[in-house]
Every structure is written in C-alpha cells, then in structure tokens.
Structure 1
Amino acid sequence: MEVTQPKTIENLPQDMLVEILSRVGSYSSDQLFMCKSVCKSFSKLSKDPLLLKRNPNAIFRWGLIGYFDGRHTDYGLECLKQASNSQLKEAVYVYGLIMFASCKIEEKHVGLQILNETFPPEPEMVVAVRTRVFDLLRCLCLFNRRHFAYVATSCPISDHRGYFPHIHGFELTILECMSCFWAYELGVFVNRFAYN
C-alpha cells in the first residue's frame, strides 16, 4: 500500500499562495497581517511584489499596525516603505514624516525628498491626506505616542524662522523652503497624534 504525504498549504504553487494572500488582503488587512504567522511560505510571500501591487492599501494598513502597535516596528516600517513605493499618498505621507522626523540627517533628507516628490506645494492636499490618515489610525486604535516623544518639529536649517500659516503678517511661502513646510506639518501631526 502506497503511503501518501499529507497535503499542506506549503505544497501549493507559489502563484496560488500569492493569490490567496491578495484575496485575504483585499478583505481584511488585519487578517493579512496574521497570515504572516501561518507558515513560512506566507511569511516569505508577504513581501512579494505582486502582493504589494494588488494590495497597496492592505500593505499600508499592515505597516500602520506593525509600526504603531510597538511590537513589530521594523517590519511595520518596511511595509510602510513598500506601500510608499507604490505611490499611495497616505503611505508616502506617513513614511515620509517618519523619515523626516529621524535624528539621522540622511534619513531626514530621504523623508524630505519622498514628501516633495509626491506632494505638490498645495497645503490643502496635505491636509486632506493627513485627515484620511488620522481617520484610519482612529479606526485601528493606533496611537502609540512613544514614536514621537522627542521629535524636533523645526526646520533643520538653523537660520529659518519657519512656516506659520496662521499668523497674520508673516507667512513663509512654501516654495521658498519645503523643509520649513514639512517641519510645520510634522509638528501638526505630532500634536494631533498626542491628543487623539
């Protein structure tokens, strides 16, 4: 009598596993996040470019959960980077601000470059994206404040006074210094994060 090996999910073809993950991700990003712990194949395929292409929103949520819950910070940041690379504006906003908030000057420049490449100098667009991000953070109950406990929210160029859109009589045009603008936006994000 021939003994057959038990069939496991690991025996399925890779393209089928990616298809399963992409369908799970389109239904629930939380379930997609949990799939990573099901088996080695799912863990490996969670970084598959095809999965990212099909589910940038799910990868973005996955990144938010991983980064802001404080338990999977490195993996969450990697997911945010992947979603940002797919040009999802919310992901670019979050990942860019995280990089811009870094105390490492190289990461700060990366963040500024990412933000400037994606967002035109239109504050209204940035406010709309910020609102969507905070709506999502609120839905996911993700307000781990420790990530922004000691963030400098001033322009890294020391002689700049900054961007003050609400003070009558002085407003630095954002075209003059996008670093001032994003420092201001980082301050808004951090303050809103602290009081939600």
Structure 2
Amino acid sequence: MTTNFTSDIVTSLPEHMLSEILKHAASNSIADFINVMLCCKAFDRASNYENVSMEKVSLVPWHRCEKGFQKRCKAANNAEALYRKGMINCFSRRKSESGLRYLKKATEKGHVEAVYTYGIILICLDGELRKQGLRVLLSLHLPKPNQGNSRMIASCRSKTEKFLRCMWVHVALTGPKGICCNCDCDIEEKPNHSTPSECQAWDASNDVSHCCDYCFWDREANLFCSLLRKYLIN
C-alpha cells in the first residue's frame, strides 16, 4: 500500500522536477543517482545526463560504475564530461585533435575550465589560432589585468592541477612566443624573454598591473605549460 502510494506521488510530479531530484541525487553519490533512477520508470524517463552533476565522479574514473556513468554523460553532451574527455585526450592519450574537439564543445556550453584550457592551448599554437584563443579567453569576462588575478582564474588553476595529478601526462605544450607591444609590462615577465621557472608557484600573484590582455594571457599560458612539464612522464 505504502509503495503504491509513493509511486503514485512520484508519477504525479512533472518531469522537470523529477530531473532536478536526480540531479541532486548525483551530487551526493553515483550510487544514489542509479538507485533513484531504478526505483521507478518515472525517474528513469526523467534521467537527464546532460545536466546531471558529476561532482562525486573521480576526474579519471577507475570503477566500472563511474566509467559507465561518465560515458553516458559524455554521450548526452554533459559539459563536464566533455571537458574531462578533452583533457585526457589532449594530455594523456596523445589525441590532440579529438581532445580539442571535446574541449571546444564544452567551451560552447560555457564550461569555465574548458574555456580556460581551450583558449590557452590555442594561444600556444600561435598564428591565427593565437588570436582565436585570446577571443575565447576574453569571453570569460575576467577583471582587467590591473585588477589582479580573479577567483575564477584561481579556481581554473586549482582544477587543472588537481586533474593533472590524477592522470598520466604524456603531452606538454610549448609556451607562446611573446609579441612586441607598448604596454608597461615588466620585460622580465614577458614570455618572449623569460619563461617562468619550474619552481615558480602555480598560484603566484605577481604584479601584472600594467599588462595588456596579450601579455597577461601569454604569462598565464606559460604558467600552464610549466605545470604540464611538472607532471610530464618521460
């Protein structure tokens, strides 16, 4: 009687509300998500892998349950799943073209860390791709360089390092060649003349008060490349 009554309540709820319940269930644990989804057909129909949280899934999943869940999320164009696939393909599996496609898809869905990584990779490729990369990074609408590093950049750096620690890094990037500009950025900080040392703190907040957008992101790209070399497996 109780089971039927509960089932009637569930089936009476609109699908968007059931989908929201599933989304929060996944943010607690993958097991909770699967159990809720299996408890009745209404939840199964409302399952939305595109927007479900992947917070409790390892960045590089090892368990079958997590692998299956992440695969379904990727198939549904879940932005976080696309970002993770792009990172692994670019820096671990040596599938740069495929990795860039996944990062681009995640970027188009507004995934902040994907925008950050995709933009920096393009900047490192120089030429027209460098200009495209800068446009991608400017879409983050970060504070101007004279306002210092924002929390968003700190968050992107933190997640990048956490991700790289979890996987086998087999691919490094060459930092961008600096361009000659008229900003008052300290010449020692320009990638054209100096590359940040390996021991330079990833979260360092050196003075960038007079950097233009190009110099600011060149410097950030060089920090990103230094981090890659730190975890690179020869």
SS at match of 1:123: coil
Residue 78 of structure 1 pairs with residue 101 of structure 2:
yes
**Corresponding residue of 1:192:** 227
Cα deviation 1:127-166 (Å, max 9, x = unaligned): 2211111112212x142243x1x33353x23555646463
SS at match of 1:93: helix
**Corresponding residue of 1:151:** 175
**Large movers: runs of 4+ above 6 Å:** none
TM-score, normalization by structure 1: 0.64
Q: CA RMSD in A?
A: 3.4
Describe the shift of the 1:85–1:157 C-alpha distance in structure 2 as closer, same or farther (beyond 3 A).
Answer: farther
Are the aligned partners of 1:67 and 1:77 in contact in 2 as well (CA < 8 Å)? yes
Equivalent-residue separation in structure 1 for 2:52 and 2:138 (angstroms): 33
Are the aligned partners of 1:162 and 1:184 in contact in 2 as well (CA < 8 Å)? no
**Corresponding residue of 2:24:** none
Shift of 1:185: 0.5
Are the aligned partners of 2:100 and 2:118 in contact in 1 as well (CA < 8 Å)? yes
In structure 2, the gaps of 5 or more residues are: 1-43, 62-66, 190-204
Equivalent-residue separation in structure 1 for 2:108 and 2:51 (angstroms): 21
Q: Which has the larger radius of gyration?
A: 2
In structure 1, the gaps of 5 or more residues are: 1-15, 37-44
Shift of 1:187: 1.2
**Corresponding residue of 2:16:** none
How many pairs does the alignment contain? 157
Describe the shift of the 1:23–1:84 C-alpha distance in structure 2 as closer, same or farther (beyond 3 A).
Answer: closer
TM-score, normalization by structure 2: 0.55
Describe the shift of the 1:32–1:153 C-alpha distance in structure 2 as closer, same or farther (beyond 3 A).
Answer: farther
Q: Identity of counterpart residues, as a percentage?
A: 23
Decide which of 77, 82, 87 is 1:59's aligned counterpart.
82
Cα deviation 1:64-110 (Å, max 9, x = unaligned): 1111124322111100010011111100010000001113x210001
